[in-house]
Amino acid sequence: MNTTFRQDLVVRPRRIRTDDWTRRMVAENRLSVDDFIWPVFLQEDNGTSEVPSMPGVKRYGPDCLIDAIAEAVELGIPAIALFPYNNPETKTEDCRESYNPDNLICQATRSIRKHYKEIALIGDVALDPYNSLGHDGIVKDGIILNDESVEILCRQALVQAEAGCDYVGPSDMMDGRIGAIRDTLDEAGYTYTKIMAYSAKYASGFYGPFRDAVGAKGALKGDKKTYQMDPANSEEALRLVENDLQQGADMVMVKPGIAYLDIIQRIKGTFGVPTMAYQVSGEYAMIKAASANGWLDHDTVMMESLMAFKRAGTDAVLSYFALDAARLLK
């Protein structure tokens, strides 16, 4: 363009964006494979099955699990989070399958451990995949009972620790469960089994596809608003984190992710503790659906969304993109 107009500028912020090497040197955040926790769905039947609302995500049967984990190990993913799809006949109102030492999470943990030592295993502690009523706690007369649920959650956490989980991840949002689980683990000698507390977990519409994945959707009556947080609140998130830390949480989590980056930033800024985030199923599904339609570029948006977690102060992100992102970073 032929123009005589020239600003008399000393500061030209674009200078540091003109070339790739400068952009790389001044980048304030960087993603690495160490930032990712891969959520893995387990099923009882051999083979795999697809989760229709989560394209690219599979549930793994016992015969396919080890091969699936192999790639995660090879890529250097530090941890995987295990979630069960239980057949309907194992689901009861007392959720007893949750503390069966041979349940899907315990079996998978033992089998993965036999093959691999270099990846951390996180057991999900919550009752919804085991509950014929679809809630994360024991339901009586339509009420989600707190202390009765915590008793079951402790038994669930204990069988997971016994099976070899390195972490338990209570995602149930009952009051007092972190301290009760810590006591249970300590008394049984699992002093170094870590607790990744889902401290600020919101009652969110973004969990829809996950409930398909663990088969909890049909069962759930009503909503989870009496235990999961109101999306309107952030002061409450800080109180919950403080409470979980006092009860012995080793790391805390915010869930969902992208719509709650402000919460992550406040928690990190206030407490400075290891702060995880969960890029949940609905966030994954949105990116998949839009990119399948050609409306978004899949890899660009995937990496941009993961970088946003870093920028907000997240230490590691549970993401269904973990393997895709790790492959791209290689």
Q: For residues 197 and 251, is the Cβ–Cβ distance under 8 A?
A: yes
**What is the smallest separation between the CB atom of 320 and ligand PBG, expressed in angstroms?**
7
User: For ligand PBG, which is the closer residue by CB, 59 or 211?
Assistant: 211
Positions in the binding site for ligand PBG (CB under 6 A): 124, 126, 128, 136, 171, 207, 210-211, 224, 280-281
**What is the smallest separation between the CB atom of 126 and ligand PBG, expressed in angstroms?**
3
User: For ligand PBG, which is the closer residue by CB, 190 or 284?
Assistant: 284
β 275-279/316-319 pair status: parallel
User: For ligand PBG, which is the closer residue by CB, 97 or 136?
Assistant: 136
Q: Which long-range contacts (C-beta less than 8 Å, at least 24 apart) are formed by 236-244?
A: 237/199, 237/200, 237/263, 237/266, 237/267, 238/266, 238/267, 238/270, 240/199, 240/200, 241/199, 241/200, 241/267, 241/270, 241/271, 241/273, 242/271, 243/178, 243/199, 244/178, 244/197, 244/199
Whether 201 is catalytic: yes
Check 194, 201, 224, 288 and give the catalytic one: 201
Check 194, 255, 268, 310 and give the catalytic one: 255
User: For ligand PBG, which is the closer residue by CB, 99 or 207?
Assistant: 207
**What is the smallest separation between the CB atom of 292 and ligand PBG, expressed in angstroms?**
19
With vertex at residue 162, the alpha carbon angle to CA 167 and CA 315, rounded to the nearest 5 degrees, is 5
Neighbours of 106 (CB within 10 A): 23
Q: Which of 137, 128, 288, 100 is nearest to 212 (CA)?
A: 128
Q: Which residue has the tokens 């009882």?
A: 44
**What is the smallest separation between the CB atom of 239 and ligand PBG, expressed in angstroms?**
20
Whether 224 is catalytic: no
- Residue by residue, what is the 3-state secondary structure of 144-177? EECHHHHHHHHHHHHHHHHHCCCEEEECCCCCCH
**What is the smallest separation between the CB atom of 191 and ligand PBG, expressed in angstroms?**
25
User: For ligand PBG, which is the closer residue by CB, 112 or 213?
Assistant: 213
Active-site residues, by number, are 201, 255
